[in-house]
């Protein structure tokens, strides 16, 4: 795994020495992504830099930026092309002579042969930049699902790009002007959804897109999207056999490595199936790593242990105890914009644990979005059934009033009633947008400053969810919400978390369930086979019943949860106090700090239902101190 960065040199009087310093600073900012080697390319038109984490062809021959034999193209590449061997054979048959054993050279040769159409042939996770020295333009591309990040800046004839925002912030001409609507997005979703970032004029290249720019004109195109419109009519046994073979092949492709390789193991069906397949494909014990908590309610280690014993893995565990407060601020700085999914903490520690033994780890990410594994999907299913029991006039007319009355009673039962009745009053797409929000609107109205409210009047972050839901290309409700999560929560939260936390430890992670062939196949499986009553991921469990035991397949899903309320009240209380009682905090630009402190005090007194919002405000402040307007940029 690697990191890349660069810029187009559009100044009328090029300053080569200054630009070389810029490149070096951009590369050093992402040294954690590639500690093994670095490289720069600078001419009168472009600057490219690269940090390398060696995975394939460990010799210096794989150094980047890499030049094509013709001298026309230069590539800086982050990721892995899993089918590069078969692509290489085809190119060799066409007469191409390779100098290295890297997938980078294969990608460069394929681009030189087919241009942007090469993307259709790639099976992998990637973000890359290719400079065309003849056309004087840069080509940027990102993988289908968004496993690898890619940011770009464009304003006033300047164009720059990088794997991480912190690299772009090293350029002196890029301001740190915060987007008000992105702040609102963050507090709604726990992250800033693409194509926006927290900053004005810096953007994410969306998954499945490519872009070309000459510094004056920029064009962006989508080359891939998942479709739920074609539902298979195959039998259950046919689906199970084909799905098993497809995932097994995906695992096999991702086990190609010239460095030690292992797996994350939670004991859930996704990671357990991958470990089981790896064990069957390997001639040596698989190295597995798990994270546990002192709290029994959040600890999954016992399940991971069972799987490790079943497949006789080389198993390692780490328990998160007093490690949170001492490390939180430093861990959070690996996110260059606000991010508050609490599971980033255990993800950092399991990556740290894995990196002591391996350089590459396979993970189970993607199973929930492909096969309906989240509890919210069942909650949504129940609410939809209840919604159909009442006429629209009753739901839209009376239910909002009932919810308002329930909101006047401050008890746990009343809050649940308010949430349920309020959700039933909404249509399905509106209800799902509320389900996806992590900051209660009632609390938002209470704590937000009047001037910030005015600045964002008329903007609703829920429109992001609603638009994807309505553009899913199917009338099936479950398929529409799976599509929505694949376009939002997966690339914006899950994959950002895994990429930043693994790269913080110079560890490459690979997700077999995000092979685009698996994603496309899963999209064609009928919804009734994905969720059957309360049972989520039904088809995946049936598929792997030949490999895994029932106590693993059918245990209660825990997710990668953390004891957040307890952390705030105990382990990170001092840190939170320092934020919520700081009138100069970045939060004070957006929230009434007196009201925030009142919410905080209620939490300390035992009220738990605003834990996520308090955690989000804490993490926003940690980001602000490092990267916000006038931030310290502690990279």
Give me the active site residues, please.
2
Phi, psi at residue 78, to the nearest 5°? -125, 120
Residue 459 burial (CB count, 10 A): 11
Phi, psi at residue 219, to the nearest 5°? -120, 140
Using CA atoms of 150, 185, 179, 597 in order, give the dihedral in degrees to the nearest 10: -130
Q: Which tokens hold the place of 423?
A: 């959700």
Q: Are 215 and 156 in contact (CB under 8 A)?
A: no
Nearest to 431 by CA among 477, 473, 391: 477
Radius of gyration of the chain (CA): 24
For 104-214, list the strands marked E by DSSP.
Answer: 124-132, 137-142, 151-155, 158-162, 202-204, 209-213
Q: Would you mind telling me the total number of residues written for the chain in this entry?
A: 635
Kindly write down the DSSP assignment for every residue of 200-216, as one continuous string.
Answer: TTEEEPPTTEEEEE-SS
SS3 assignment, position 158: strand
Lookup result for tokens 């994959």: 495
User: In angstroms, rounded to a whole number, what is the distance separating the alpha carbons of residues 209 and 144?
Assistant: 8
Q: How many CA atoms lie within 13 A of 503 on its CB side?
A: 29
Phi-psi region of 456 (alpha: psi -120 to 50; beta: other; left: phi over 0): alpha
Q: Which tokens hold the place of 102?
A: 């890297």
Q: Which tokens hold the place of 14?
A: 């090029």
CB burial of residue 526 (10 Å; 0-12, 13-18, 19+): middle
Q: Are 624 and 585 in contact (CB under 8 A)?
A: yes
**635-to-231, 334, 336 alpha-carbon distances in Å:** 48, 9, 10
Residue 154 burial (CB count, 10 A): 17
SS3 assignment, position 317: strand
Q: Are 201 and 153 in contact (CB under 8 A)?
A: yes
- Give, in degrees to the nearest 5, the angle at Cα 435 between 429 and 438: 135
SS3 assignment, position 129: strand
CB burial of residue 172 (10 Å; 0-12, 13-18, 19+): exposed
């Amino acid at each position: 795994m690697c990191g890349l960065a660069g810029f187009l040199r559009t100044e009328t009087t090029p300053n080569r020495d200054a630009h070389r310093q810029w490149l070096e600073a951009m590369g050093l900012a992402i040294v954690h992504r590639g500690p093994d080697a670095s490289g720069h390319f600078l001419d009168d038109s472009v600057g490219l830099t690269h940090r390398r984490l060696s995975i394939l062809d460990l010799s210096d021959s794989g150094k980047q930026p890499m030049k094509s034999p013709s001298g026309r193209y230069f590539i800086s590449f982050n990721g892995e092309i899993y089918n590069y061997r078969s692509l290489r054979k085809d190119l060799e048959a066409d007469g191409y002579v390779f100098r290295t054993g890297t997938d980078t050279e294969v990608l460069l040769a394929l681009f030189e042969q087919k241009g942007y159409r090469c993307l259709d042939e790639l099976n992998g996770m990637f973000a890359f930049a290719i400079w065309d020295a003849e056309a004087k333009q840069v080509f940027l591309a990102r993988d289908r699902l968004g496993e690898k990040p890619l940011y770009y800046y464009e304003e006033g004839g300047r164009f720059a790009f990088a794997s991480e925002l912190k690299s772009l912030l090293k350029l002196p001409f890029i301001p740190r002007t915060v987007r008000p609507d992105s702040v609102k997005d963050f507090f709604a979703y726990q992250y800033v959804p693409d194509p926006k970032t927290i900053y004005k004029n810096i953007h994410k290249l969306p998954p499945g897109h490519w872009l070309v720019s000459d510094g004056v004109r920029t064009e962006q195109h989508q080359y891939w999207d998942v479709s739920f419109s074609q539902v298979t009519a195959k039998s259950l046994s046919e689906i199970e056999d084909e799905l098993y073979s497809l995932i097994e092949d995906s695992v096999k492709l991702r086990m190609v490595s010239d460095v030690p390789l292992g797996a994350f193991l939670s004991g859930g069906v996704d990671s357990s199936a991958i470990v089981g397949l790896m064990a069957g494909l390997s001639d040596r014990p698989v190295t597995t790593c798990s994270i546990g908590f002192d709290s029994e309610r959040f600890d999954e280690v016992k399940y991971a242990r069972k799987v490790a014993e079943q497949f006789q893995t080389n198993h390692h565990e780490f328990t998160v105890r007093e490690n949170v407060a001492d490390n939180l601020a430093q861990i959070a700085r690996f996110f260059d914009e606000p991010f508050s999914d609490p599971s980033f903490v255990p993800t950092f520690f399991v990556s740290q644990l894995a990196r002591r033994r391996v350089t590459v780890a396979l993970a189970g990410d993607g199973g929930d979005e492909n096969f309906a594994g989240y509890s919210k999907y069942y909650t949504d299913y129940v609410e939809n059934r209840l919604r159909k029991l009442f006429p629209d006039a009753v739901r839209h007319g009376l239910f909002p009033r009932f919810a308002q009355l329930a909101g006047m009673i401050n008890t746990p039962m009343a809050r649940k009633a308010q949430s349920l009745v309020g959700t039933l009053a909404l249509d399905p797409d509106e209800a799902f947008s509320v389900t996806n929000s992590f900051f209660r609107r009632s609390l938002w109205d209470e704590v937000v400053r009047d001037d910030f409210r005015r600045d964002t009047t008329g903007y609703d972050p829920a429109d992001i969810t609603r638009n994807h839901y309505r553009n899913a290309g199917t009338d099936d409700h479950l398929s529409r919400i799976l599509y929505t999560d694949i376009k939002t929560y997966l690339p914006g939260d899950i994959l950002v978390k895994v990429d930043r936390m693994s790269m913080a430890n110079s560890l490459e992670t690979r997700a077999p369930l995000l092979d685009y062939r698996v994603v496309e196949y899963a999209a064609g499986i009928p919804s009734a086979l994905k969720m059957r009553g309360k049972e989520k991921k039904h088809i995946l469990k049936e598929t792997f019943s030949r490999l895994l035991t029932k106590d693993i397949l059918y245990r209660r899903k825990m997710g990668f949860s953390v004891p957040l309320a307890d952390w705030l009240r105990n382990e990170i209380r001092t840190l939170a106090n320092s934020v919520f009682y700081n009138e100069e905090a970045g939060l004070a630009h957006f929230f009434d700090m007196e009201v925030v402190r009142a919410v905080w005090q209620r939490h300390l007194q035992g009220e738990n239902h605003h834990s996520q919002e308090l955690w989000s405000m804490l993490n926003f402040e940690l980001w602000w101190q490092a990267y916000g307007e006038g931030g310290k940029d502690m990279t």
